[in-house]
Structure 1
């Protein structure tokens, strides 16, 4: 059994964009800190890459890395940029195998920090202990060499997704308790309470995937207690799908949810995977052998019928909820 805590108190906003001044300030600090090559590169690609996002984290290779590898391609630079602000505390919450989305479409970095490590490690490369630059929206960490886009952790049979019943070594109770405790400590208490009260036990069939909005989004959108069951059911899919499974779906694919008639449409926007128009910025918030949770940046709303026309529908047999139960 394996779990991953990819939990961030900071939540990504779709409004606005990184100011050019912040990017050039970061470049100045990089240059003063001995990362001259990345400082110059950052200035050149600022308009193309960073100014399209309201927040970002940059992983800056050292001058010696540039000298050894030469000027990186634009795609390789995108692989060193994450479209969210990763603080040191949030990075330390990552367990080995957690995925970090990048600005290179369909490509993620992998957390490789072990419990014995003093420094955070990504793709088996250690980061500087503190950000070289941090203004709250833009953070820059130093690394001693370029990330390898082909990096993979050794495969493990217990991390494979499954959409069919199988023998499990852990009890359903254990699986849910792990997910609930992780979500409660990471700003997803509303979703955790829903799992505890309404979904306890259903993952014993084929597993579930939860698209979890943060607490502030939930509390701001629903006030009537009678709306809670349908609100949460539409954020849950009766199938266990890790981030690596989701990125392999074609644009226009649809996932059935626990809310009858509500489907989740998968598309891409600027290389970012989106569900009913809502980006997933925190993949694999939690996963074990029955449950996968992905953090989303907003509430999932229904899509226009025309938007779903001719889409490939990924359906699942039956609905594990008895609609008369609530």
Structure 2
């Protein structure tokens, strides 16, 4: 059983890029836990490729088939193995919240996984393959998440899509479909969103949410917060536009974002600043920044997605440096239309 696997692992080592943003200790710890959990073939994969898994992403979700699946498949191809690696963190609570038809990017160029979980929520499945560790992950340190699946994914899987969700038209203000006319969302989502951000390393945006959100002239009924990780935010107190340019006036879950067309422009609370949708292969980009933690918080009125980078002003992007003065006159009290 070991020989075919070792051949594939050697091929992976030669062909995958030779750099990775994943912490090396995460990979080593995960390989040990995989082996102890009975996933010896996937453990060998991690040990061999080590830091050559994901060259541009600091996070990774691995869907690990059991050893019996490796034995049945014989010698899995490189592309088949890449279909089991998603370049973003997908905790179980995120996967549970995704409706059927949601696409998940993978390392296999041009091929995504599709959520096929039944409406009952009794299980999680992707490409028709059940996630066997739906109660708890095999490994999860915040950067690297490993979940067991009952078999290899079929790269030719076809999903019969339902009607597409409503999405905002380019250049227009988002609607508020989740609004019930009661005004500002309740305290439960407010505390829940802040708690999710603080516990995952997004304390700056949590603090800005706490300080500024109540300043809206006309309280919003739904929001999407694209929260940059703390290390990427410079001088938040000197630049009030940091919060404004990372918040969209409508609720956009991950399933909505992945169905947005290339070039869609999402309006923000910073006048004139939009978030433009693009893709690099199957990876969704917001003004060039990949989503790092999809559906970090998921509620009826508000969704929070984590970013590894801050969304910068056009002048900052062109100059390659931060300009705290830009957008300094915009505030929730003075300029917001909402």
TM-score range for the pair, normalised by the shorter chain length: 0.5 to 0.7
Aligned to 1:107: 112
Q: Do the aligned partners of residues 236 and 151 (structure 1) sit closer, same or farther apart at CA in structure 2, a change above 3 Å counting?
A: farther
- The answer on 1:223 being equivalent to 2:221 is no
- The answer on 1:272 being equivalent to 2:271 is no
Gaps of 5+ in 2: 1-18, 199-204, 319-331
Given the two structures, how large is their TM-score scaled by the length of structure 1? 0.62
Is the 1:61–1:142 Cα contact (8 Å) retained in structure 2?
Answer: yes
Deviation at 1:70, TM superposition (A): 5.4
Within 5 Å, give how 1:1-326 maps onto structure 2. Answer: 17-18=21-22, 23=27, 30=34, 33-42=37-46, 49-50=53-54, 53-68=57-72, 71-84=75-88, 91=92, 95-97=96-98, 101-104=104-107, 107=112, 121=124, 123=126, 124-127=130-133, 137-147=143-153, 161=167, 165=175, 170-173=180-183, 175-186=185-196, 187=198, 189-193=206-210, 196-199=213-216, 202-204=219-221, 207-214=222-229, 217-218=232-233, 220-224=234-238, 227-228=239-240, 230-269=241-280, 271-288=282-299, 290-303=301-314, 323-324=334-335
Deviation at 1:306, TM superposition (A): 10
Gaps of 5+ in 1: 1-14, 308-320
Deviation at 1:127, TM superposition (A): 1.3
Greater relative contact order, per chain length (Cα 8 Å cut-off, separation 6+): 1
1:165-209 deviation line (CA, Å, top 9, x unaligned): 5775745457453431221111252253257313485544xx543
- Once residues 199 and 94 of structure 1 are traced to their aligned partners in structure 2, the CA distance between those partners, rounded to angstroms, is 32
1:223-263 deviation line (CA, Å, top 9, x unaligned): 33xx32x2211112334433233334454443332212222
- Once residues 201 and 300 of structure 1 are traced to their aligned partners in structure 2, the CA distance between those partners, rounded to angstroms, is 25
1:20-67 deviation line (CA, Å, top 9, x unaligned): 797577557645654344345556766764455444332210022234
- Once residues 73 and 217 of structure 2 are traced to their aligned partners in structure 1, the CA distance between those partners, rounded to angstroms, is 51
1:92-128 deviation line (CA, Å, top 9, x unaligned): 57653277954346736759699998xx955442218
1:143-177 deviation line (CA, Å, top 9, x unaligned): 332356759899799x7556765775745457453
Q: Do the aligned partners of residues 216 and 26 (structure 1) sit closer, same or farther apart at CA in structure 2, a change above 3 Å counting?
A: closer
Is the 1:176–1:291 Cα contact (8 Å) retained in structure 2?
Answer: no
Q: How many residues align?
A: 287
- Superposition RMSD on alpha carbons, in Å? 4.7
